[in-house]
Amino acid sequence: MVCPAMRCSAIRDNQSDLWIYARCGLIRIADTELQRWWKQPDTIVQFEYFNVLDGATPALSTFHPAVSKSPDGRLWFVNDSVVQMVDPNMQRNRLPPPV
């Protein structure tokens, strides 16, 4: 799905989570959050946000769609300078690195 007014692209992964590739970064919204929001529109939707510090390189793209899913479930995002891949099954390291 392409959002022309907001200049973003969106796709669902194999777990039905929604991934939005926007100018500000990459946003992941769990399907359970979306289902809860549909039932209770006044609820606050929880999401994960990935930006340049996480390795995401968001930018406007002249390619449409700017996102695709490969047969193995990985998500591919493209802008005018890079192609990026995200494995939705990745395990995020939430521990800060030792200094």
pTM above 0.85, yes or no: no
Q: Give dist(CA 29, CA 46) in Å, integer.
A: 7
Least trusted range by pLDDT, from 23-27, 40-44, 54-58: 54-58
66-98 residue pLDDT tens: 889 999 999 999 888 888 899 998 877 778 878
Q: Give dist(CA 20, CA 77) in Å, integer.
A: 10
Query: What are the structural domain ranges in the chain?
Result: 2-86
Band of residue 7 on the pLDDT scale cut at 50, 70, 90? low
The pLDDT score that the predictor gives to residue 80 is 82
Instruction: Judge contact between 60 and 9, C-beta under 8 A.
Output: no
| Whether residue 40 has pLDDT greater than 50 | yes
